Each structure stands twice: as C-alpha cells, then as structure tokens.
Structure 1
Amino acid sequence: MMRVGTVLALLVSLAGGAVTSQAPELAQQYRQRLNGALEELAKVVARFEEDAARHTLRLDEALAVYGDAEEPFLRDRGLSMRRVIERFERLEQQSVRLAELPPPLRPLAVFVNPDGDVLKGAMQDFEPAVPLTAHGMIWTASGLLAGFGLYKGLAFPFRRRRRAARVPGR
C-alpha cells in the first residue's frame, strides 16, 4: 500500500509536469501572435515612411516635423508614431531572437522579456496541447522533477518530526 507522502509526491510531480509541459505551446502561440503584430506594425511603419518619402523626408525628419508642430494634436500624433516604431523594432528583435533559439529554450525567452500586450493576448486565447515533441517532453520532465523537489522540500520538516517521535526512549 502506498503511503500518503508517496501519493502526494506523485500528485505534486504530475501537476508540475502538466503545467510545465504547456510552456512550449505557450511559446508557440506567443510567437504566432508576435509575428501577427509585427506584420500589422510593419504596414503602419511602411505607410508612414512612404508618406514621409513623398515629401522628401526621412523617418526621423518626419517625426521631427510632428515634434515641432504648434498644434498639440500633431505633436501627440508624432509621439504615438514614435512609440509605434519603437515597439515595432522591439518586436522585430524579439522575433529574430525566438527564431534563432532552439525550441526547448523559446519558453525561457518568452518568460524573460515578453511584450505585455502580446503575452496578454496569448494567455487569454491559450489552449493547452499534448506535449508530443521532444522539447515538450523536456519541459514535462523538468516540471515533474521540479514538482517532486517542491514536495520533498515542503515535506522535509515534517519527516524529521515524525522520525523524532518514533525514536524509542523519548
């Protein structure tokens, strides 16, 4: 018959494995949303660059025109466009980094430095997947080990008390 501690260790380990097995799928769904956002931002930035070029302005010059405008609306619009361009550049860099990483490391890159809007959307629409890939199994195994280690760490103080209570003569 299995002891309660063994059953708890198994359950916590399985829960850890189940949770971490989804990391590659979350990274994949994040990456898909990231690339979708990049495509849309690229269109906005390209249109802005085309408009600037039609007036013989470079991108930085067009932004400066907005910044120098007397009308507050135009200055605000210039700031908005500057933020769009900066976000586009950040997402582009992140997309390149994710593409260069081996699949088992992609979840770490997502967790370390995600784009808040992209991650929020990925989490809202997240659908778990069965980990049938090698990197899915790596994450499952790491979660199983982490869950088992967590259980052992939490159970350790209680095991010492139980052993002390069993010692004869006390």
Structure 2
Amino acid sequence: MITKGLALAGGLCCALAASQFPEFSQQYKQRLSGAVDELAWVVERFDADAAALDLSRDAALSELARGTAMAQARSESMGQVLIRHERLSAHLEHLRTTNSVSAALIGWQYLDPELAQKTWGDFEPAVPATVAGAGFGFGGFLAGYTLIGMLLGGFGRMVRRRPEATPAE
C-alpha cells in the first residue's frame, strides 16, 4: 500500500512538472517574439541608413569594415545582429506554424540558450488550462507513477527476505 501511495505521489509530482512544458514554451515564444521585433527594428534602421547612401546591406557592412577601429567593430557586431535576427526569425516562424505539443517537444532543438535562460529566470508556473497542458500533465503522471512504482517494487523485492528452508528431520 505504501508503494502505491508513493507511486501516486511521484506521478502527481511528475504531472505537475510536465504540465509546465507548454507554459514555458509559451513564455519562451513571447520572449522570442520580443527579441525578433527588437532586432527587426535595428536591422530596418541599418538598411534605411544604407539605402539613404545608395548602399546595399553588404556594401554598407563592407564600408564600415574599412573604417576606423570603431567602425570595424560596429561592422562585425552588425553582422552578428543580422545573423541572429535571421536565425531567431526562422525559429519564431517554426513555433508559430506548429501546434503547442510539437512546439513544446520539437522546439527544444531550436532553443536559443540566452533567451531560454532568461525565460527560465522569469518563469512563473501556471495552471494547465489548455489541452496541451493537460496532456503533458497526464503523460507526466503516467511516467512518474510507472517509474516510482517500478523502482519501489524492485527495491521491495530485493529487501524482502525469502523464508529459509527448514532442514528435514
């Protein structure tokens, strides 16, 4: 009976933890969207400055790279901004065009470590009020209940003493 109670408690704990995957994914997507919007603003300003001087983006970067040490540094950092904007925009598009379960499961392969760390730092657990949250919660419960039950069942079999055979008289 204790084993089943502990397995139930383990299942409930895992259900609670797993049900937070969609919420974390949602909060991450919101932070990602904000980062993409801000990077887009920087890229648009850079492109507008280049266009005002009749330069393409690449020509503007090249011209900056030939300038002073500060201009060279700015050329390099702007190149990194352009790459990051492209990468994060593609990731955001992927998250927007997939369902919440896939986003929570598959989205980890696109996870930006810096944004994920900041999201985790600000993460606030939420009651799973979506089908995805309930599904993850149920899956977590089953996994936790099964795992704890198997561990405790195996441990119990190891600890139980087998009756000693009585010698024949």
Q: Percent identity?
A: 36
Equivalent in the alignment of 2:100: 103
2:129 aligned to which of 132, 135, 139: 132
TM normalised by structure 1 equals: 0.90
> Helix, strand or coil for the counterpart of 1:101?
coil
Give the Cα–Cα distance (whole angstroms) in 2 for the partners of residues 128 and 46 of structure 1: 36
Question: Does the alignment pair 1:123 with 2:120?
Answer: yes
Instruction: Confirm or deny: 8 A CA contact 1:17 1:144 kept in the other structure.
Output: yes
TM normalised by structure 2 equals: 0.90
Give the Cα–Cα distance (whole angstroms) in 2 for the partners of residues 79 and 154 of structure 1: 54
Return the offset for 1:142.
1.2
Return the offset for 1:167.
4.5
Aligned residues: 166
Equivalent in the alignment of 1:154: 151
Greater CA deviation, 133-142 or 114-123? 114-123
Instruction: Confirm or deny: 8 A CA contact 1:98 1:109 kept in the other structure.
Output: no
Distance 1:65 1:134, change over 3 A: same
RMSD (CA atoms): 1.7
Question: Does the alignment pair 1:48 with 2:50?
Answer: no
Return the offset for 1:168.
5.3
Return the offset for 1:135.
0.9
Equivalent in the alignment of 1:169: 165
Give the Cα–Cα distance (whole angstroms) in 2 for the partners of residues 110 and 167 of structure 1: 54
Letter in 1 for 2:66: D
Instruction: Confirm or deny: 8 A CA contact 1:30 1:122 kept in the other structure.
Output: yes
Return the offset for 1:152.
3.3
Give the Cα–Cα distance (whole angstroms) in 1 for the partners of residues 55 and 21 of structure 2: 45
Structure 2 residue ranges without an equivalent (≥5): none
Equivalent in the alignment of 2:82: 85
Return the offset for 1:52.
0.5
2:22 aligned to which of 16, 24, 49: 24
Question: Does the alignment pair 1:58 with 2:37?
Answer: no
Instruction: Confirm or deny: 8 A CA contact 2:3 2:149 kept in the other structure.
Output: no
Return the offset for 1:153.
4.1
Instruction: Confirm or deny: 8 A CA contact 2:47 2:57 kept in the other structure.
Output: yes
Structure 1 residue ranges without an equivalent (≥5): none
Equivalent in the alignment of 2:35: 37
Greater CA deviation, 75-84 or 103-112? 103-112
> Helix, strand or coil for the counterpart of 2:55?
coil
Instruction: Confirm or deny: 8 A CA contact 2:28 2:119 kept in the other structure.
Output: yes
Instruction: Confirm or deny: 8 A CA contact 2:4 2:149 kept in the other structure.
Output: no
Return the offset for 1:118.
1.6
Give the Cα–Cα distance (whole angstroms) in 1 for the partners of residues 133 and 85 of structure 2: 30
Instruction: Confirm or deny: 8 A CA contact 2:3 2:153 kept in the other structure.
Output: no
Equivalent in the alignment of 2:109: 112
